[in-house]
Amino acid sequence: MAGGPNNGVLDADDLKLISTYRHPQVAQFAPFCATSAAAAQAAWMGGKILAQYPNAWPETIRALIVHTAEWTAAQKRDFLADESKTAYARFVRICGYGVPDLGRALYCAANSLTLISQAQIQPFDKHEKDARYVSRDMHLYRLPWPSVVLLGLGDVQVSMRLTLSYLVEPSPGEVGWQDRYRYASHALRFEVNGPSESEQEFVKRVNHLAREDEDNPGTESASDHWTIGEARNVGSIHSDIWQGTAAELAASNLVAIHPAVGWWRERHHLGRWNRRTRYTLLISIHLPKQQVDIYTPVAAQVGVPTPVPITIPVI
């Protein structure tokens, strides 16, 4: 076995993937690993998903890979100190969202329900009265939760995972180390209403967040429900796991997508402030492993398991 210990990690050729060597006169095959192998495997997985869902956007394919990833017991044992938000922020920087699973990405489990929305949004606009450049659209999803089923489960612990995926236009010459608003063209955030929060209160809160560009983790008592919290709001794909009782989930049936500041708005002289952008939103609920039909009630409400976004201008 080649290789040796390196910072506590065994670098063994026998555990690496094999590919063709760049100089066939020297050798026919060579081991490879790390980002090179990961990129190849991710591309293969993306190709498989596209073959299964040819109408899926690139944003959707990426979202499916992340949404169905899970952390292994070994990852948690070695890198997750505790269940605090600080520990998870560090954990995600090291392990990302875990190990993706092609089977889960292609087929939903019998005891889970996944809603997928591919939509477009205009993040920014020019104010008519004083010519300010402001945030514009918010999409509000009224989720067709199987309320009767969830309320019937009462205090049973359930989970909901949300993944928001979009692509940004990077600003040439800006790496974003000094000013987070100068590299990415825009950012999007998702919010979920709290169990005791009305739709009017929820929309008012999201409007406030969009105006102030606060990186708030979302629902009421977010620390009690979300696994990662505000640490998820980096990059251009955000995924988090909500945990609570089935009754609380039945009342948390609103999801808002709203913009955060980027250089499209802050550098408006470049003429990008009125651009539209695409995003994909995935929402899954997972019940305990028991025979509970949650798909049929949703299908009966909407006909297809995909919510329709409602555009609301951000005042």
Looking at residue 110, its pLDDT comes to: 42
Q: What is the mean pLDDT of residues 293-315?
A: 61
- pLDDT at residue 2 in the model: 39
Given a contact cutoff of 8 angstroms between Cβ atoms, the answer to whether 112 and 127 are in contact is no
One DSSP character per residue, 144-204 reads ---HHHHHHHTT-EEEEEEEEEE---PPTT--SSS-TTTTSS-EEEEEE--TT--HHHHHH
Q: What would the two tokens of residue 184 be?
A: 């990415």
- pLDDT tens, residue by residue, 41-61: 999 999 999 999 999 999 999
CA distance 55 to 42: 19
The pLDDT, as a whole number, for residue 182 is: 72
pLDDT, the chain, mean: 84
CA gap 191, 256 in Å, rounded: 5
Please tell me the predicted confidence (pLDDT) of residue 114.
86
Q: How far apart are CA 104 and CA 114, in angstroms?
A: 11
Least confident of 101-110, 172-181, 264-273, 284-293: 172-181
**Angle formed by the axes of helices 34-52 and 58-67, to 10°?**
110
- Global confidence as pTM: 0.84
pLDDT tens, 89-121? Answer: 999 999 999 999 998 888 754 456 788 999 999
The most confident of the ranges 47-56, 125-134, 144-153, 203-212 is 47-56
